[in-house]
């Protein structure tokens, strides 16, 4: 700043009787500077670099802070000095806590846009959540939505369903797959677009994330058939939505903390945030999108040991998803944010044990389906 620094400007403003809130910033914030700003009547002090969310929060706080210059403490030897006010402890916010606060503000304000709109995902989840969805309603949805229709044709064109020739229409492709499987496969393939990013480094990071989520979803579906789960057709969609928190954190990081993913690798802080908060972010996002309550509950509790608040079928579903994550992680790795702490042996609430040889067969089957769809 020409002729004076920020502290001098603040002093000049107060000397001229101007009491507007002031937020000071500095590239090299030292403790004396922060104290001088506080005593001079600054509403807040931001060290550079800072994100736009940090700036917005500082300005919001400044609006509610009464502006009165603070004076330095007087000497204790002065008998006329009033007793100092009792010190109020100021909680120290860790970097991960700050990132969590900024992320929740970002999500609450609706600043995140996805290539595949939540409206499309909501329509898919609403149908798949029904106990006995109407096949005609499924076919109509797949036929009317271009994104979902292209996804059905892609899945129906793989070697497993192609037959002698590829399907000639979306309805024909859906008929080959079956209504429920067509719906789940279309949702999965359409959701893939949400993992697209600009730049080769970020694209590689997002592809690694997608591979882990996709492998988990197909493993969950295969496990559901193997273990006799009553709704194997829901497993792809439930699994992907339960894991959506990691995707949301990655997309938010591009806007809020690009320096945390410099070079296409997440920082330790971002990894810790993802490990600690990914399930909560999934539940928050699904709630904001108006997803069925069961999807939200499964997402919120999919890393919990305490499942007293969910029904027996949902407990089995959560245990099955934990088992699928463990198997998928062993096949393709733990993903860019690291392994889920819930990858310990899942509870056996109604689920029969799976022999190691059969578990390996389930993993190979899911991995083969992943390869077939990736190269379709």
Structural domains in the chain plus CATH codes:
1-70 (3.40.50.2300), 114-196 (no CATH), 197-376 (no CATH)
pLDDT for 375 equals 62
CA distance 173 to 160: 12
The values of phi and psi at residue 26, to 5°, are -160, 145
Q: How many CB atoms sit inside 10 A of residue 46's CB?
A: 17
Q: What is the mean pLDDT of the chain?
A: 78
pLDDT for 348 equals 46
pLDDT for 249 equals 94
Q: Taking a C-beta distance cutoff of 8 angstroms, is the pair 25, 230 a contact?
A: no
CA distance 135 to 232: 16
Q: For residue 356, is pLDDT > 50?
A: yes
CA distance 231 to 238: 11
Q: What is the value of pTM for the model shown?
A: 0.70
CA distance 97 to 269: 10
Radius of gyration of the chain (CA): 27
Which tokens in the block code for residue 259? 């320096």
Torsion angle (degrees, nearest 10) of CA 145, 146, 149, 150: -160
* 66-82 pLDDT, tens digit each: 555 544 454 555 555 56
219 or 62, greater pLDDT: 219
288 or 102, greater pLDDT: 102
Which tokens in the block code for residue 16? 């001229």
């Amino acid at each position: 700043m020409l002729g004076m620094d920020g502290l001098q400007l603040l002093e000049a403003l107060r000397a001229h009787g101007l009491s507007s809130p002031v937020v000071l910033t500095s590239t090299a914030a030292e403790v004396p500077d922060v104290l001088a700003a506080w005593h001079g009547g600054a509403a807040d002090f931001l060290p550079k670099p800072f994100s736009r969310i940090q700036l917005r929060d500082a300005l919001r706080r400044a609006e509610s802070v009464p502006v009165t210059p603070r004076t330095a403490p007087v000497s204790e030897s002065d008998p006329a000095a009033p007793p100092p006010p009792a010190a109020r402890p100021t909680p120290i916010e860790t970097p991960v806590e700050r990132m969590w606060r900024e992320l929740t503000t970002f999500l609450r304000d609706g600043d995140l846009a996805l290539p595949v709109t939540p409206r499309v995902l909501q329509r898919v989840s609403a149908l798949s959540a029904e106990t006995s969805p109407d096949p005609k309603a499924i076919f109509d949805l797949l036929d009317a939505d271009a994104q979902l229709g292209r996804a059905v044709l892609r899945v129906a064109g793989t070697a497993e369903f192609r037959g002698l020739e590829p399907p000639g229409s979306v309805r024909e492709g859906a008929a080959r797959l079956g209504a429920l499987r067509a719906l789940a496969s279309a949702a999965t393939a359409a959701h893939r677009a949400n993992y697209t990013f600009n730049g080769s480094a970020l694209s590689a990071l997002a592809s690694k994330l997608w591979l882990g989520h996709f492998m988990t979803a197909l493993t969950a579906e295969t496990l559901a058939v193997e273990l006799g789960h009553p709704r194997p057709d829901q497993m792809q969609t439930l699994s992907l939505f339960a894991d959506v928190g990691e995707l949301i954190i990655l997309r938010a990081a591009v806007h809020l903390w690009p320096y945390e993913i410099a070079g296409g690798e997440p920082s330790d802080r971002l990894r810790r945030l993802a490990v600690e908060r990914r399930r909560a972010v999934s539940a928050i996002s699904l709630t904001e999108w108006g997803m069925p309550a069961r999807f939200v509950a499964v997402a919120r509790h999919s890393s919990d040991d305490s499942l007293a608040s969910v029904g027996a079928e949902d407990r089995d579903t959560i245990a099955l998803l934990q088992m699928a994550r463990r198997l998928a992680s062993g096949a393709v790795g733990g993903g860019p944010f690291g392994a889920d702490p819930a990858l310990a042996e899942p509870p056996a609430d109604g689920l029969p044990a799976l022999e190691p040889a059969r578990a390996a067969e389930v993993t190979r089957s899911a991995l083969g389906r992943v390869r077939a769809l990736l190269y379709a």
